[in-house]
Amino acid sequence: MPTHRHGPSSPVSPSKPWQSRVPSFRAAIRESESEEQLSRENTRGTTQSRSSTKTARWWRIQLFRGMINDVKRRAPYYWSDWRDAWDYRVVPATVYMYFANILPALAFSLDMFAKTNASFGVNEVLLASVLGAVVFALAAAQPLVIVGVTGPITVFNYTVYDIITPRGTNYFSFMCWIGLWSLVMHWILAITNSCNALKYVTRFPCDIFGFYVAFIYLQKGIQVLTRQWQSGDTSAYLSIVVALLVLIVAYICGIVGNSNLFQRQVRRFIEDYGTPLTVIFFTGFVHIGKMRGVQLSVLPTSRAFFPTVDRGWFIHFWDIDVADIFIAIPFAVLLTILFWFDHNVSSLIAQGTEFPLRKPAGFHWDLFLLGLTTGVAGLLGIPFPNGLIPQAPFHTNSLCVTRQVSDSDENNKGHVHRIVDHVVEQRVSNLTQGLLTLGTMTGPLLIVLHLIPQAVLAGLFFVMGVQALEGNGITLKMLFLFKDKELTPGSEPLKQIHRRRAIWCFVALELFGFGATFAITETIAAIGFPIIILLLIPVRTFLLPKYFSPEELRLLDAPTASPFTMESVGGNFGEDVDETIGDGRGDDPPLRGLTSTSSSSMSDKYRSVGFVGLGAMGYPMAQQLAKKLPDSSQIYVFDVVRQSMEKLCSQENGRVNSCQSAKEVAERSNIIISMVPEGSHVRQVYLDERAGVLTADVSNKLMIDMSTIDTATSNTVREQALSKYPSASFYDAPVSGGVLGAEKATLTIMLGCAEDDAQLPLLQDLLGMMGKSIFPCGGPSLGLTAKLCNNYCSGLIAIATSEALNIGMRSGMDPRVLANIFHTSTAQSAICDKWNPVPGLCPEAPASHGYQAGFKVQLMKKDFGLAVETAERVGARLALGKVGLEVYEKTSEDPKSSLQALQPTIPSQQSQPRPIRIQSTMSSSSSSDPKVADAHKTLFDAGLEMRYAVAGKTYVDRALQNGSSAFARPMQEFVTESCWGSIWTRPGLELKQRSLLSIAMLCALNRSTELGVHVRGAVNNGASEVEIRETLLQAACYCGMPAGIEGFKVAERVLKEMEAERTEEKK
């Protein structure tokens, strides 16, 4: 049945660049859903409905385990990190990150130069950036993280200077000991798996820290401008103007990059290079006209590759009192706290949920490397480098490869937008930008840097501060609170919070945390600000849940990174991920938290995928998975028709494995997908006490039911699954698009999940192998609600379209003309355009193929009835619901609709127009008892499915057509029910054995026509020519030679015909 073309809009917008068997299931109906796909194609999918509530102990004192597992996870990707660099995106990403890293570093060097009496200058800051880039590019588990000099370490450095130098202590030697002590502390924390505590780090402390860093940037810009009065009023005022112009122009470049102005290549160039070009332009701008005569302060530099002050690069750390060595310990503790939080958060943001990363993270190992660079930096007398939070997403975003998708719904037809396809994950861009930074320390480039006015660097501070504020969660919440309630769209997640006071309180707490952090940095105790940042973590974890409800916290706060990223540290808060890597037993790893959207790199997570239900829809969907999953993946399938499993297994050459029950599928798979016709079947698949999915241990596994059923059943299955296995996940994901959409992988999939679901990337990737348009619908069972609403709408449109065409044809109109009018007028719909019920108007429509393979009226009656029940449950008033349901209920009594789809009878020139007729499924026999009629119908449908599978669709359709008269039809129904529905579907004998038995008996009875059919069926069921020959010889021996000779003639003729057919197919 086609569905209406007006689908929901895609919720995803591009991110900013800166930031045994089943009882009674044997006779089940197969859902041959030829449903129209929602026309909004090429949209990006999303998803998850819940996260686990099972909490694990975060501090697992198993020495070195975290580091070892990080290396094991990442090591298999090391060489691909270099090979994958052969991609054009690496070139602009390298240039972009060179400027994005060096320009803030130069600004920080100016600040430290002024506040540490020239102890740190340009060369020290550049060398610190080089050290971080080279070490992390070559050896880090996550080479996308950019390491350099940050605003907080600038505050730390000059605060230590203010405390230590009045005592007469050698500043560089003291800083060296801080670095060495911190190295030891970093290594202790890495060895003891301290990064497991990152599971408690949510957006709450990250947003506060980001807000603090943003204001630090703004403050630094103002401080640079205030120093310009030392050169005179004119210089100061010109510096203010230049700084503001830098801010305005750079900000406009960001706006243009995200607009629809110019061509995409131009926009991308402005987006990537707008800020560095702004710096270059205003460096020359101050020399225009009368500004040339104004003396502006410029960036101070020193000799190439030499420290700013007269000293060597290696610090004499022994030139210090023993007491001062131990005084450095508390400073090292504060530095370690700062780096533990700052670097790990920057790494989390660089691997945020908006980036479809394919390669694993490694926080423990990277913390170990950070300790190494901290110690080396201390020995060299340079600022300690660590992860750059404001620039954290810049590198990842610059490596995103996007693709263009179009909107095809009526309201946005012709509009296009871009979505992220994948990220070029490699090490070359980080290493190269570090080497370019090293080249900047050469004499000629230092001369160029010396030309940059300090006012331009002040403007750069403003740019970074504004950009950091713009995407900060605190800013976004405040903007929401200040918006007009009437003009705030309903899609805004915060509108789901009923207590508006809760939002105000949450924002107030965040601002209080920011205020406390910022205030302490303005005092001599500024060095202690990392402690306040660290305290925000337990505040969020233990105190906020006492006032805010779980639903409010879900909307106000969220994990910083996806579970895939967090696997290194045991998952996000509330999840329990087994960190064991390669236990040698062949067990599949826990599935929780994949974010990748590239199937080629997911072999470790897609190692085992299960599929239950190989009907008309399920079979081609499973085929698509077999084609697109990584080569190392294994697929486990179960269906009550064993022949369907055997056929799929033989086609996929050992990659697909048949199972004896849904339970076995669940035991052998990490992902379990089900696609069955009705809610009763879903209950049997999951809840059957002997062979259901939930009789297996599905902890940490993902279950996706793609059946169209009632929401009550889906919620029941989900609740039982999650109550029994809290770490499991269950989603409803009904589809639209029919058999054709399943065969072409163009299905529309409606996910019962929230848009901020942590499992979104995995679901997008997995379901994208079977469908084209994937929509998150908001939460559990809402995918089914969307599907039922869609089919309710399309069901009414189908009736109206058929009736309207019938009116026109009865009046003498050419249906083609009328269909064209509909297409360009308000009656336009996908039903008319793609699934027109008049033969010949749409080549791929069932009407143009004898009304075969259409969406059966019974299935529409089921879906339509479920939609009406849902409306009654939620109190929605329906004017046409009962009328439409009555039409489908009455039509389903027509005995011919077991073969045909929605059909208007076309009046001919030789006959009077006949009334429009909607065909139905199998007649309910002669019984007036509804239960008996349903039993007949169930057996008939199961038998027809088996009959198609064994004898072939062409023969069966011809037999049914020849026996469609009122006199002959009961015999066809009896054969289909009793023989094929009752006997052939029984367990105990394989289909091949039944075929060989049938050949022997038909040979004995000398029934040549039927014998030919079953010879063909035996081949379809896997029998060889030798087995067929020996069966006929056995029959001839016991039933007579004439019968045997005739049997051989028939069999030889059929086998030759099949060989000719195979040869023709190959051609």
Active site residues: 787
- Buried b or exposed e, range 144-164, using 16+ CB within 10 angstroms: bbbbbbbbbbbbbbbbbbebb
- Buried b or exposed e, range 101-135, using 16+ CB within 10 angstroms: bbbbbbbbbbbbbebbeebbbbbbbbbbbbbbbbb
* Half-sphere exposure for 107 (CA within 13 Å, toward CB): 30
Cα–Cα distance, 831 to 37 (Å, whole number): 11
Q: Which amino acid is at 721?
A: A
Residue 380's alpha-carbon distances to 16, 45, 437, 587, 958, in angstroms, are 37, 49, 17, 48, 87
Residue with tokens 């007398």: 381
Cα–Cα distance, 235 to 214 (Å, whole number): 26
| Pairing status of strand 400-406 against strand 416-423 | antiparallel
- Buried b or exposed e, range 894-929, using 16+ CB within 10 angstroms: bbbbbbbbbbbebeeeeeeeeebbbbbbbbbbeeee
Cα–Cα distance, 925 to 599 (Å, whole number): 49
Cα–Cα distance, 922 to 972 (Å, whole number): 11
Cβ pair 612, 675 in contact under 8 A: yes
Cβ pair 614, 636 in contact under 8 A: no
Instruction: Report residue 884 as tokens.
Output: 């439409």
Overall size of the chain counted in residues: 1067
CB contact set of 1015 (below 8 Å; sequence gap of 6+): 999, 1028, 1050, 1051, 1054, 1055
Q: Which amino acid is at 290?
A: K
- Residue 401 three-state SS: strand
Short-list 702, 628, 718, CA closest to 665: 702
Q: How many CB atoms lie within 10 A of CB 457?
A: 27
Residue with tokens 């309710």: 792
Cα–Cα distance, 591 to 583 (Å, whole number): 16
Per-residue DSSP letter, 561? B
Q: How many CB atoms lie within 10 A of CB 95?
A: 18
Which residue stretches of 835-874 are H helix? 857-874
Cα–Cα distance, 610 to 672 (Å, whole number): 5
Cβ pair 604, 400 in contact under 8 A: no
Cα–Cα distance, 870 to 972 (Å, whole number): 38
The alpha carbons of the chain give a radius of gyration, in whole angstroms, of 35
CB contact set of 1050 (below 8 Å; sequence gap of 6+): 1008, 1011, 1012, 1015
Cα–Cα–Cα angle for 812, 815, 818, rounded to 5 degrees: 95
User: Percent helix, strand, coil in the chain (nearest 5)?
Assistant: 60, 5, 35
Cβ pair 340, 189 in contact under 8 A: yes
Q: How many CB atoms lie within 10 A of CB 652?
A: 17
Residue 665's alpha-carbon distances to 30, 691, 695, in angstroms, are 20, 10, 11
Instruction: Report residue 377 as tokens.
Output: 């930096």
- Residue 709 three-state SS: coil
